[in-house]
Amino acid sequence: MKNINILPSSVANKIAAGEVVERPASIVKELVENSIDGQSSFIEVYVENGGKDKIEVVDNGIGITSKEISLAFKRHATSKIQSENDLDGINSLGFRGEALPSIAAVSKVEVLSKTAYEDTGVKFKLEGGINEEILPAPANEGTRFLVNDLFFNTPARKKFLKTTATELGYITDIIGRFVLSNPDISFKLYHNDRRLLSSSGNGSLKQAIADVLGAATAENTLKVNSKSEKIDIQGYVVKPSITKSNRSGQFIFINNRIIKSKLLTKAIEDGYKTLLPQHRYPIAVLKLWLPPNIIDVNVHPSKQEVKFDNERTIYQCLKAAIDSALMDKPLVTEYKYSKLNKSDKGSLTNSNSSKPTFSHRNNNRLTTENNVTEQLSYLEKLTKNNFSKDKEFHTDSSTVHEGVNNDLSTKSEKLPTKPISKSKIQTPEIINPFFTSLQILGQFSQTYIICKDTDNIYLIDQHAAQEKIYYEKAISQLGKQVSIQTVIPETIKLNGAQINIIEENNLTLKKLGFDIEVMDGNNIMIRGLPFFVNKTVSIQLMLDSLEEIFINDELSSLKKFKDAVLALISCKGAIKANHKLTHEEMQSLLNQLSYTSNPYSCPHGRPTVVSLDKKSIEKMFKRVK
């Protein structure tokens, strides 16, 4: 049995460095945080070969004195906290006193620094944490930190570094986050002497978003501004028309610290609710200001993981702030016209689709839903290329039955209803007068309602629109006595798994408006359906779809389950594409949209209405440039 020994400091430092220095981006993060804590107003970062060969960070901060520069590389030496009590009120980005010795342990380091109180600067060199060299040297006020040959003395670590492009992607991502968290600091990032990113440092968060994510994204932001007793939330969310294929567009900062939090990510995505299509993720830049004593950033050496005293309150505040921002303005998807190139072969492109200043990695490319070419292709699939003489504008005056039970089904059937006393009739409140202001021009391809106002043409997807109407009506009924439409009892035979699902969830289904009785022999009897379910929809098809929700979806709460079921049956019950509507039916649909709280997307995240402005149309006809 081997004896227990205390490891030499050189070995211990290399081991400890593994927690702080994972890759070149880790070094960039630690050095830039030091520059920010040092009151810098500009920070320049130079890297070579993805940071594997060289990392250089230059700032104009307060600098390090010649007497303290050697001490800065001793483990647990820091100027940012003095006692245990300071851990309850950390305001600086760094505080552990581990970053510099960890970096020096696995690289060749050279530091040049000068303070305002000294006549000359100081140069300090370390190689693998040893061979100290301190010399006086001319320098500007601030610090220049140079790291060469990362992992030169730990080849096992070096071989696990990724390609230059991948490592550079991590570095650009972290610098982008610093730009967003510190819009009052000017940042520049260079790779192999080529500038990749530059920010103005003018203090504008919206300009910082343009610098990092591109002008198109910045132009489509909605301001978030929420204050309560213990939490202040500021920032921007991006309209649902611009999304990403992953969560790399979600930037969360607490007290200006870059953090990762599943709780806050969930709050962001829950705030968007049904506004996004499946497998698309929102873009948001959000800053939360909390009392330092209710959060713990001392969870991991990277200081990106945090713990909260009251997670539920913070989640609810953030979600409510996003809800408010998204509901504040109409979210109509806009399309812009741009000049056609010969190679376009007649396609239209989105003039707002400017590229981001930098890309994180190839699979994280920014996606905008406002791509006209893709949209026209989508419309073509929906209409099956059958724009013919029977797809004209329809404005005949057939009768339509308006009201909450208005059913634009192919059979135009009337549901059995009881007489309603006048005293019980309540006029619903118009929430979105935008739709009542539109003038209907007709119907295109028996799928889209064409409307206009003074300056815009609008296309409204009739299926998505009625789907959202049904969905919001259904949501409003939850917790109340649900209106049930009586149907002729129908017996359906199910398999064992389906029967089990019905039995386990029958109470919830009843709350949603289903009257289902489980019979012998794996049979069920349907006696009633929710008022918003079109009776022409196949009951078997609906049950099959419900089974898919129950079995495949990881629904963590009853509310999520209800939302999924309501979205499904609203979709199944709504009018479909290729269904002719009268002018009155189209007007009724618009009127009902005006009563919905968020009529701009269906429950699955697809837009219900898109617009084309007058200027874009004039550009098409070359009336304006």
Inter-residue contact 282 to 272 (CB < 8 Å): yes
* pLDDT number for residue 605: 76
Other residues' Cβ atoms within 10 Å of the Cβ of residue 553: 12
Q: Is the pLDDT of residue 580 over 60?
A: yes
Fold annotation for 9-198: Heat Shock Protein 90 (3.30.565)
Three-state DSSP at 236 gives strand
Q: Cα separation of 219 and 338, whole Å?
A: 17
Q: Give domain limits for the chain.
A: 9-198, 205-333, 371-418+433-474+575-620, 484-530+535-573
Amino acid at 344: D
* pLDDT number for residue 142: 96
* pLDDT number for residue 137: 94
Whether domain 484-530+535-573 has CATH 3.30.1370.100: yes
Query: Which residues, at least 6 apart from 243, have a Cβ–Cβ distance to it below 8 Å?
Result: 249, 276, 277, 280, 281, 282, 283, 367, 368, 369
Q: Cα separation of 162 and 50, whole Å?
A: 9
Q: Is the pLDDT of residue 552 over 60?
A: no
Q: Cα separation of 106 and 153, whole Å?
A: 6
Q: What distance separates the 2 farthest-apart alpha carbons in the chain?
A: 96
* pLDDT number for residue 212: 92
Q: Cα separation of 73 and 64, whole Å?
A: 12
* pLDDT band with cut points at 50, 70 and 90 for residue 60: very high
Percent helix, strand and coil across the chain, each to the nearest 5: 35, 25, 40
Amino acid at 543: L
Whether domain 205-333 has CATH 3.30.230.10: yes
Q: Cα separation of 215 and 218, whole Å?
A: 5
| Cα-based distances in Å from 578 to 447, 448, 606 | 5, 9, 18
* pLDDT band with cut points at 50, 70 and 90 for residue 388: very low
Q: Give the up-direction half-sphere exposure of residue 227: CA atoms within 13 A in the CB hemisphere.
A: 0
List beta partners, residue 112: 123, 144
Q: Cα separation of 53 and 476, whole Å?
A: 60
Write the pLDDT tens digit of every residue in 130-172: 878 899 999 999 999 999 999 988 888 888 899 898 899 899 9
Fold annotation for 371-418+433-474+575-620: formyl-coa transferase, domain 3 (3.30.1540)
Backbone φ and ψ for 191, nearest 5 degrees, come out as: -130, 120
* pLDDT band with cut points at 50, 70 and 90 for residue 114: very high
Q: Which of 105-109, 263-267, 600-604 has the lowest mean pLDDT?
A: 600-604
End-to-end CA distance of the chain: 84
Q: Cα separation of 256 and 93, whole Å?
A: 8
Q: Exposed/middle/buried for 261, CB within 10 Å: 0-12, 13-18, 19+?
A: buried
Give the whole-number percent of the chain exceeding pLDDT 90: 28
Q: Is the pLDDT of residue 104 over 70?
A: yes
